[in-house]
Amino acid sequence: MLAIVAPGQGAQSPGFLTPWMELPTFADRLGWLSAVTALDLVHYGTEADADTIRDTAVAQPLLVASGLLAALELFPHPADAFGKIGAVAGHSVGELTAAAGARAITAEQAMVLVRERGRAMAQAAAQTPTSMTAILGGDREEVLAKLEQHGLTAANDNGPGQIVAAGTVEELAALADDPPAKARLVPLSVAGAFHTRHMAPAVDVLGKLGRSVSTHDARTPIISNRDGRVLHDGRDVLKRIITQVSNPVRWDLCMETMLDLGVTGMLEMPPAGTLTGIAKRGMKGVETFALKTPDQLDEARAFCDKHGSAKHGSTNALDTAPTWRMLVAPMKGTFRRGTDAAEGDSLPAAATIGTVASSRDETEVTAPHGGTVVEWLVEDGDLVSPGQPLIRLHPEGVPS
C-alpha cells in the first residue's frame, strides 16, 4: 500500500523550488497560487533567503503550494492517483496539502486557509516570547514528565526518540538547565510555540473562516495529526485542521496507523526528507521515497506503481464507492454495533452505527448523511483495521 505525505514548517530551504520552475506547468500554476494568496511564491521559492522563508506567514503557503503542485506533476491525471494511493497525511501545515490532495477541499481553499493560518499564527506568536526545542533520545516517560514539570507542551511527538517541546522562552530555558537524562536538546529556529495553547487566537480566526468553506468527503483516506485516526468526512477533516493549530501533532500515531493499514511505501512531497527520515526510524520495513527535484519524477512514478493499490489488484474503497455511501473504521480496534438497523432500514442523519474500541480509547462511528442500509460489512465484535468498510448506505429514495 502507498502513502503520500506532506512535510510541515521547517522543511523548506532557500531555492528549493528552483529546479521545479523549469517545468512550464509548475511555473504557471505557482503563478496562479501566488495570485490566490497575494504572495510572490515564485520569489520565495527560488530567490528568498533562509530568514525570509522562515517567516511563518511565508513558509506555510510556500510549503502547501509546493506539495500540491508537485503532486500534479507526479500524477498529471489526478484520477489515476486515487486508485493507487492507500492513504495521505501531512505533518502540521502539511495537513492542508493532504486535505486538498484528497479533494476534501479545493487547492484554492487550501491556499486561502494557509495564508490566513500563517498570518494568524505569526500574530499569536508575537503576543508572548515563545519557542520550541527538539528533544532527541532519553526515556519517553521521563521526557514527558520533565516537560510537565516545567509547564511545557509536547507539541510534536514524532516517534521514538524525537519529541518537540514548546512553551515560553523562560520555560524552555528552565528545561535547558534541567534536561531529561540521556537526552540531547536542540533549540529550533521558529517564531513561536506552535501547536500549544499559545496559538488559541489563530484557532479563533480560522474557525470563523472555516464556516464559509464548502467541503467534500475525501477521495482518499486522510490520517489525522490529532490521534492517527482515518478520516473521510470533509467537515471533520476541516474541523480537525483548524483546531490542530493549538493541539499537539501526534505523528507517532499517524505512523502507527500507516503500519496498521499495511503501508509498504511512503512517498514524501517536496521539500522532502524530514518525514522519510523519521519513517526510517519509526516504520521499519517500509520503503521510503523523498521527492525533492523534478528529475526524480519517473523514478517516483515507478515507486507509486510498485506500492500502489492498483498494482496489487485492489482498489481504494473510498474511490470505488462514494464516501457518503460507505462508512469506514477510524482506527484499529473492536467494532461494536450501536444500532439494530438491518438491510433495508433507514438511518437518520448523524445516527451512530457503533463504536471502535482499542486499548487506547473508543470512537463513535456516525452516518453524517443517514440513508438506507444496503449491507453490513462487519459483525458485532469483529476486529477491524483503520479504513476498513463497516456498512454500505444509500441516500433515501435511491434504489440499491
Judged by phi (left if over 0) then psi (alpha if -120 to 50, else beta), residue 36 lies in: alpha
In order of 116, 236, 237, 372, the CA distances from 215 in angstroms are: 18, 9, 9, 23
Q: How far apart are CA 341 and CA 327, in angstroms?
A: 15
Closest to 370 (Cα-Cα) out of 387, 392, 346, 386: 346
Q: Report the half-sphere exposure of 173 (CA within 13 A, side-chain side).
A: 5
- Catalytic (active site) residue 195: yes
Q: How far apart are CA 311 and CA 297, in angstroms?
A: 18
Query: Hey, how many other C-beta atoms are within 10 angstroms of the C-beta on 218?
Result: 27
Main-chain phi, psi angles of 222, to 5 degrees: -110, 130
User: N- to C-terminal Cα distance for the chain?
Assistant: 30
Give the three cell numbers for residue 251.
Answer: 505523528
Which residue in the list 34, 66, 92, 246 is annotated as catalytic? 92
> Residues 39, 297: contact at Cβ < 8 Å?
no
Residues 6+ apart with CB under 8 A from 217: 104, 232, 233, 234, 318, 322, 323, 324
- Catalytic (active site) residue 246: no
What is the 8-class DSSP label of residue 284?
T
Which residue in the list 66, 91, 150, 195 is annotated as catalytic? 195
Q: How far apart are CA 287 and CA 280, in angstroms?
A: 8
Q: Which residue has the cell 470505488?
A: 320
Q: How far apart are CA 78 and CA 84, in angstroms?
A: 11
> Residues 266, 287: contact at Cβ < 8 Å?
yes
Residues marked active site are found at 92, 195
